[in-house]
Copies of this chain bind each other. A is one copy, B any other.
């Protein structure tokens, strides 16, 4: 079987090279491409995408996978070879079950929706996108139906980003979380609002950058295997485990913008830099799911980066960078400012406590829309009512309501949002496990040291790349399935202290 396996690996390498090349082109498009280079770039990326898809879905790949079935069964489940064959088969089935003509129609439609949304949002014009969104819903249902035998129609769509997570499991976990969060938000927001003016004076970008570069190097980001650039929307991208890049957005009058997006993206990047380099060029390269990926960005951004222990070490350094702005601000005042909780209508601006309420209502709407229990035309009213119910605040218009996120206007309805909150929940579960295994971690963090934590995360999560599905990985790492208690404990402890809950 060695021969078939080697042929498979060669083919996967070729597909991976095309996909990585396309990723370089995407990175360049977002960072340095001159404006008029856009049309040719779109053409180049379309060609690379088409070739990668053709090569991966070629019938010969299916034949190789069939021939390798018995070999796979003879290998240990968690061996590299069995995992490679298993992960490749899963991808192959996903990509061959949906006809290419359907995907072309789907991309064509979402491209049109996106163009309309870019206009409709500033115009506050939901009516303009409504028929397109109705078609998106219909196409999303069709897409799901290429994978018959599901328990819930959202399950195949969730599988695209969080394989193995079912609507029922996620829904139950989310309901548990919501039951704790809604009263917590009510309690906090009934108190005197925190003064965060200290974050909103003027902070020169080069000093913001110098500060967070110091920090992410301490975290363990390796600049020999990656870099950092500036873009309007921060992201992390990788072309190999040895070339992982993240981007950051600056706001002169908001110190938290660049710093916390740098910590967040560094979390994603540490994961990618930590994947076993043996997996480069194979289906096992890269992080395993959107939820697990988000657990790492959130762990480094929030559980570390917004913790008191972290700032005990770094706040004096930050004050050195900004003596005029922060010299007179106490560590405690700063800590409260960066952890200010408030009712808000925009998901991406939300604090750690309210953020998940934004996500979970979107998840519920995706299910309701797919089930046929909510019509697209009724979405704006339902949206506003749910904001009132969960967050105690209603969007003044659709622009900052149902039109705020790009997801439904550029991709399917279903599977788009759950990863954000799964990430938060997982982060707490993982962090709790790490500290149990390595009790020195909290003390090291107070000293700006991350080696023990990073090594533990690398050995237990990062190294595996996509070898395990998210549910498998969670079970392996924590010995338990996904559950919400560690996250609720984390929030109760941290915000209980901050707000005397």
Q: Which residues of A contact B (CB under 8 A)?
A: 13-14, 17-18, 20-22, 24-25, 27-28, 32-37, 39-41, 43-44, 46-48, 51, 222-227, 229, 239-240, 242-243, 245, 280-281
Q: How close is A36's CB to chain B, nearest CB, in angstroms?
A: 4
Contacts of A222 in B (CB 8 A): 36
Contacts of A40 in B (CB 8 A): 20, 239-240, 242-243, 280-281
Q: Could you pull out 26 A-B pairs where Cβ atoms are within 8 angstroms?
A: A13-B43, A13-B47, A20-B44, A21-B47, A21-B48, A24-B24, A24-B25, A24-B28, A24-B44, A32-B227, A34-B223, A34-B224, A34-B243, A36-B224, A37-B225, A37-B239, A37-B242, A39-B240, A39-B242, A40-B239, A40-B242, A40-B243, A41-B239, A41-B240, A43-B281, A51-B51
The 6 residue pairs across chains A and B that have the minimum distance between CB atoms: A37-B243, A40-B240, A17-B47, A36-B242, A17-B44, A36-B225
Contacts of A239 in B (CB 8 A): 37, 40-41, 44
Among B25, B34, B44, the residue within 8 A (CB) of A227 is B34
Contacts of A13 in B (CB 8 A): 43, 47
Question: In the bound complex, how far is the Cα of B277 from the Cα of A36, in angstroms?
Answer: 12
Contacts of A22 in B (CB 8 A): 21
Q: How close is A428's CB to chain B, nearest CB, in angstroms?
A: 32
Contacts of A39 in B (CB 8 A): 240, 242
B32 contacts A44, C-beta separation under 8 Å: no
Question: In the bound complex, how far is the Cα of B41 from the Cα of A281, in angstroms?
Answer: 11
B47 contacts A243, C-beta separation under 8 Å: no
Residue from A35, A47, A229 with most neighbouring chain B CB atoms (10 Å) = A47
Contacts of A32 in B (CB 8 A): 32, 227, 229
Question: In the bound complex, how far is the Cα of B33 from the Cα of A245, in angstroms?
Answer: 9
Q: How close is A11's CB to chain B, nearest CB, in angstroms?
A: 11
Closest to A18 in B: B47
Contacts of A243 in B (CB 8 A): 33-34, 36-37, 40-41
Q: How close is A179's CB to chain B, nearest CB, in angstroms?
A: 46
Contacts of A28 in B (CB 8 A): 24, 27-28
Contacts of A18 in B (CB 8 A): 47-48, 51
Given A25-B24, A32-B227, A227-B32, is A17 in contact with B37 using a C-beta cutoff of 8 Å? no
Q: How close is A269's CB to chain B, nearest CB, in angstroms?
A: 11
Q: How close is A41's CB to chain B, nearest CB, in angstroms?
A: 7
Question: In the bound complex, how far is the Cα of B493 from the Cα of A497, in angstroms?
Answer: 84
Closest to A46 in B: B17
Q: How close is A55's CB to chain B, nearest CB, in angstroms?
A: 9
Q: How close is A97's CB to chain B, nearest CB, in angstroms?
A: 26
Q: How close is A261's CB to chain B, nearest CB, in angstroms?
A: 20
Contacts of A17 in B (CB 8 A): 43-44, 46-48
Contacts of A35 in B (CB 8 A): 224
Q: How close is A308's CB to chain B, nearest CB, in angstroms?
A: 33
Closest to A229 in B: B32
Q: How close is A356's CB to chain B, nearest CB, in angstroms?
A: 35
Question: In the bound complex, how far is the Cα of B222 from the Cα of A239, in angstroms?
Answer: 30
Question: In the bound complex, how far is the Cα of B292 from the Cα of A272, in angstroms?
Answer: 46
Question: In the bound complex, how far is the Cα of B243 from the Cα of A18, in angstroms?
Answer: 21
Question: In the bound complex, how far is the Cα of B226 from the Cα of A22, in angstroms?
Answer: 20
Contacts of A224 in B (CB 8 A): 34-36
Closest to A51 in B: B51
Known: A21-B44, A24-B44. 19 other contacts (CB 8 A): A13-B47, A21-B21, A21-B24, A21-B48, A24-B24, A24-B25, A28-B28, A32-B229, A34-B224, A34-B225, A34-B226, A35-B224, A36-B243, A37-B239, A40-B240, A40-B281, A41-B243, A44-B239, A51-B51
Question: In the bound complex, how far is the Cα of B43 from the Cα of A280, in angstroms?
Answer: 11
A14 contacts B227, C-beta separation under 8 Å: no
Among B14, B43, B245, B280, the residue within 8 A (CB) of A47 is B14
Question: In the bound complex, how far is the Cα of B36 from the Cα of A222, in angstroms?
Answer: 10
Q: How close is A432's CB to chain B, nearest CB, in angstroms?
A: 33
Closest to A242 in B: B36
Question: In the bound complex, how far is the Cα of B282 from the Cα of A43, in angstroms?
Answer: 13
Q: How close is A255's CB to chain B, nearest CB, in angstroms?
A: 27
Q: How close is A472's CB to chain B, nearest CB, in angstroms?
A: 27
Contacts of A43 in B (CB 8 A): 13, 17, 281
Q: How close is A165's CB to chain B, nearest CB, in angstroms?
A: 30
Question: In the bound complex, how far is the Cα of B32 from the Cα of A40, in angstroms?
Answer: 21
Closest to A31 in B: B32
Q: How close is A208's CB to chain B, nearest CB, in angstroms?
A: 20
